[in-house]
Chains A and B, each alone.
Chain A
Amino acid sequence: NAGVTQTPKFRVLKTGQSMTLLCAQDMNHEYMYWYRQDPGMGLRLIHYSVGEGTTAKGEVPDGYNVSRLKKQNFLLGLESAAPSQTSVYFCASSKTGPGEQYFGPGTRLTVT
């Protein structure tokens, strides 16, 4: 099993450009999450999904959109990138809500 995978691993965008980050899991987990990690701030939840076809806002959703068309995939989109979105983005999944989360290796995004 690959677990949770993320593509791409690195990306540099110019302000105003758009991109999509892909997260895939092969553990048949219902719940999937997108976090951003910034120095000294831990992980902050952007959006999450409790099952195929569902999405919901987390703590810092502004400037991001998500989709979960297939159970195994969770996409994070930036429609118009801003320098404040420079961060490391982590996808995670869990079998149920109150349980262990499995994390991907992260995507390092720089917006110039």
Chain B
Amino acid sequence: AQSVTQLDSQVPVFEEAPVELRCNYSSSVSVYLFWYVQYPNQGLQLLLKYLSGSTLVESINGFEAEFNKSQTSFHLRKPSVHISDTAEYFCAVILNTGGFKTIFGAGTRLFVKA
């Protein structure tokens, strides 16, 4: 069965430190990959996505993620976090079967400390 695993439920980190939020998926078919961010009391917003092409994708606010097909991973990284990055981050996968079912991970809460 297809699934998405976010290995850390919470990640505390000091401001200006680097961070990596891990995401692994299992699927027998090719996938599209997404990271969404949810700020407190808000809906989810797309952070970045991988559909095809370059395996390294970047967001406008300094996050990047790399699709690793052999390790079935799509880890999210940022070299220097800010207090404003405190939020919950969700990894999501769409199975490329001609359908559109999106599978979300359980989420990782990033807490940036001053």
Contact = CB atoms under 8 A, between A and B. Distances in A.
Interface of A: 4, 31, 33, 35, 40-45, 50, 90, 92, 94, 96-106
Contact of B34 (A45, A50, A100, A106): A100
B87 interface: no
Q: How large is the interface on B (under 10, 10 to 19, 20 to 34, 35 or more residues)?
A: 20 to 34
B34 A98 contact: no
B42 interface: yes
B32 interface: yes
B9 A40 contact: yes
Interface stretch (B59-67, B71-79, B101-109): B101-109
Contacts of A45: 101-102
Contacts of A100: 34, 46, 49
Contact of B107 (A33, A42, A97, A99): A42
B100 A90 contact: no
Contacts of A106: 41-43
B44 A40 contact: no
Interface in B80-114: 90, 94, 96, 99-102, 104-107
Contacts of B46: 100-102
A105 B94 contact: no
Contacts of A31: 100
Contacts of B107: 40, 42
